[in-house]
Copies of this chain bind each other. A is one copy, B any other.
Amino acid sequence: MADPHPLAALLAPRSVAIFGASNDPERISGRPLRYFLEAGYSGVLYPINPNRATVQGVPAYPDLASVPGPVDFALIAVPAALATGALEASIDKGVQAVVMFTAGYAETGEEGRKAQERIAELARRGGVRLCGPNCLGLFNLRTGHTPTFGSYLEEGPERPGPLGMVTQSGAFGTHLLALAKRRGILSGVWISTGNEADIQVADGISFLADDPETEAIACYMEAIKDRERFIDAVTRARASGKPVIAMKVGGSVVGAAAAASHTASLAGSDAIYDTAFRQLGVERAVSPEDLIEIAYACTRGRLPRSRRLAVMTVSGGAGVLMADAAEREGVELTPLSAEAQAEVVSWVPFAAARNPVDLTAQPLNEPELIDKGFDLLLGREEFPAIAAFFLLWASSPKMGEILFRSVSQAAARYPDRYFALSVIAREEVRRRYEKAGIAIFEDPWRAVEAVAAAMRCAERLAEPPAPPPAPLDGLPPLPKRRIGENEAKRILAGAGIPVVPEHLATSAAEATAAAAALGDRLVLKILSSDILHKTEVGGVLLDVPAAEAADAYDRLIAQIRATAPNARIDGVLVSPMLRDGVETIIGVQNDPVFGPVVMFGLGGIFVEVMRDITFRIAPFAPEEARRMIGEIKGAALLEGTRGKPPADIDALAEVLSRLSRFAAAQAGRFTSIEINPLLVRQRGAGVVALDALILTA
């Protein structure tokens, strides 16, 4: 038998104590015990209630100490004044995990935040995992463990299903559970994490990754608190073949402010969440509907194994719009072979035969065309997935049974293919198809969108990424003082990042001497710890002929004396004027959530006006850097457009990866790093950093 999951005591305990259990099964304090009883919890239940011998028919105890046997888990559903006492009693009893409903902590302000820190510390020292406070609890319907008063179970016991759900918000989590159920997806495990004093969304994902009956994991969060825990959890889910679909809210200005006041959580940049999710193989959902539809598509017992999709319709218009949706979603409607197309036309002269295949209304007269279509597309043409559109036929008295037989038999004949059906039908009809393994959508556009999401999820699971490279080792730690431009370049060169050769001249004569070694055309830049923006004070001279180096030196010094008379001048940096390449900007910022994050974009207006930039959390390998480079819209410029040769993308990817490993090694010692510009020369000629800035804390 495998070792129990570290969260087994929280999510699958053998014994449960309930503080404040009420005898009234309708009251909030009575609901959890009622749910346990209705769900047929197989372990031992200990209601704690000093006023009653039994609660809802279960023998009660006046306090936890009086409970005879061991207790794995305690539910703390008491007011704030009593919560700490209950937690202490739990620790004394040897309880390993608690859920705390109690509100009045970090969500109420500074004082509450401190109180929350105290209970978190208490739990940590006592060796108890703490879910909450200010949460709605959780359920694991696989074992009947239901420490929640959430209304999902209010209408009676619910069967467990293949979806696992983790939601920071309890109330909104209930809404999502209800939406999923209406959509025909039952959830087996739900965890609401509330204020996340200890247990976070990541912990829930980690547990679900190991739960054999969970097919897909849906999450809702306002922030990720702990980067490492999140990365570990989603990596674990990926390794066990389970798609993680995440809805992260608070990306807007007003939304972030509302989230901050709501759960006192730091939002972080939404663009960085976006790229981090992509990097970590998490499918991001924008809206609740998205979350539910993607979860639906990923809990059908099968996933499509490539992006090739066959579309079969009985209305040309639907085929057209499904083709539009496919293009938008990156799904390939590979054309049928010429023979297959000829066969379709031999069945129905005016059919569309290429893909989408439109059988027209002809199957109304010849229903066997549907079977033939499935066999042609899935059997002979071997499409891994099919999206089929049948109007209202699934509910039609005449066609309903015929269609169901055809579709369900095809799903049985091709058990490794993905079936999405777009029909309008009553709920019981939909459920019947779903039991046969078929995904049902009313909107054909939505069908393609959902299949596309399932394809993306399957693609990630089929090709888990190489583990991230180690941070660079053997680097001297960054100094705590200000780092000048020349020193920044030296430090980055030490990390293997090519930088432009340069000399620090402190006299015109030194400038002349330096020039000789550097080339025909030079750049002279003032070096002064008092000047951050050199260009603004006229501190940069471009394209200076080498012969005029001394003169340029004197001009530059005179210029700075005039524009920044109080600046201490450390000298003048002399370097060759390079311009044979594409100017890019790479940098690192410290995200409050994800830590060091590497940024990449093309120089100038691309970043400043078009905001055409992308991110990756550090460290990452060169292959990940290549994906990153491909994400910006201006990437075509690097591939050689407007008569220019292709740029050295390999060298760029290598430097991005190196910078990410450097940043990971120096994490905490800098506030930002910027290489602007990094010149990417033509293929084979490498890259070179022309300017660099490292800001220390």
Q: Using a CB–CB distance below 8 Å, which chain A residues touch chain B?
A: 107-108, 151, 167-169, 171-172, 174-175, 178-179, 182, 220, 222, 247, 249-255, 257-259, 261-263, 286-289, 314-321, 323-328, 333, 349-350, 352, 354-356, 358, 361, 391-392, 396, 424, 442-446, 449, 604-605, 608-612, 633-634, 636-637, 641-642
Contact = CB atoms under 8 A, between A and B. Distances in A.
Contacts of A316: 169, 258-259, 262-263
Nearest to A287: B445
Contacts of A361: 171
Contacts of A333: 254
A356 B605 contact: no
B169 A317 contact: yes
Contacts of A349: 108
Contacts of A608: 641-642
Contact of A424 (B178, B252, B263, B636): B178
A445 B288 contact: yes
A605 B634 CA distance: 8
Contacts of A314: 171
Contact of A254 (B317, B323, B391): B323
| Residue among A172, A314, A608, A642 with the highest chain B CB neighbour number at 10 A | A172
Q: List the 5 closest A-B pairs by CB distance, nearest first.
A: A169-B317, A252-B327, A287-B445, A262-B316, A172-B317
Given A169-B315, A610-B610, A424 B175 contact: yes
Contact of A287 (B167, B247, B325, B350): B325
A444 to B, nearest CB: 7
A249 B288 contact: no
24 contacts: A167-B317, A169-B317, A169-B318, A171-B361, A174-B391, A174-B392, A175-B392, A179-B442, A182-B424, A222-B320, A252-B326, A254-B323, A257-B354, A258-B323, A258-B354, A262-B319, A263-B316, A287-B325, A287-B446, A288-B444, A289-B443, A608-B641, A609-B641, A610-B610
B171 A315 contact: yes
Contacts of A611: 633
A222 B321 CA distance: 9
Contacts of A259: 316, 320
Contacts of A315: 169, 171-172, 175
A396 B171 CA distance: 14
A317 B445 contact: no
A320 B108 CA distance: 17
Copies of this chain present in the complex amount to 2
B261 A352 contact: yes
Contact of A250 (B167, B320, B424, B633): B320
A621 to B, nearest CB: 27
Contacts of A328: 252
A168 B352 contact: no
Nearest to A183: B442
Contacts of A642: 604-605, 608
| Residue among A182, A392, A634 with the highest chain B CB neighbour number at 10 A | A392
A443 B287 contact: yes
A189 to B, nearest CB: 19
A171 to B, nearest CB: 4
A538 B314 CA distance: 57
A521 to B, nearest CB: 18
B262 A323 contact: no
A317 B222 contact: yes
Contacts of A168: 317
Given A151-B391, A254-B323, A287-B325, 20 more contacts: A171-B318, A174-B391, A175-B424, A179-B424, A251-B327, A252-B327, A254-B327, A255-B321, A255-B324, A255-B327, A258-B358, A262-B358, A287-B449, A288-B321, A288-B443, A288-B444, A288-B446, A605-B634, A609-B641, A611-B633
Contacts of A326: 252, 254
Contact of A350 (B108, B179, B352): B108
A258 B107 CA distance: 55
| Residue among A261, A318, A333, A354 with the highest chain B CB neighbour number at 10 A | A261
B633 A323 contact: no
A324 B252 contact: yes
B258 A352 contact: yes
A171 B354 CA distance: 20
Contact of A182 (B253, B321, B350, B442): B442
B327 A253 contact: yes
A288 B320 CA distance: 12
A107 B182 CA distance: 40
B262 A445 contact: no
Given A350-B107, A609-B633, A634-B610, A323 B445 contact: no
| Residue among A350, A424, A610, A633 with the highest chain B CB neighbour number at 10 A | A610
A320 B634 contact: no
Contacts of A174: 391-392
Contacts of A169: 315-318
B320 A249 contact: yes
A171 B319 CA distance: 12
B634 A258 contact: no
| Residue among A108, A182, A315, A396 with the highest chain B CB neighbour number at 10 A | A315
Nearest to A315: B171
A180 to B, nearest CB: 11
Nearest to A355: B254
Nearest to A175: B391
Contacts of A320: 222, 249-250, 255, 258-259, 262
A353 to B, nearest CB: 9
A352 to B, nearest CB: 6
A446 B292 CA distance: 13
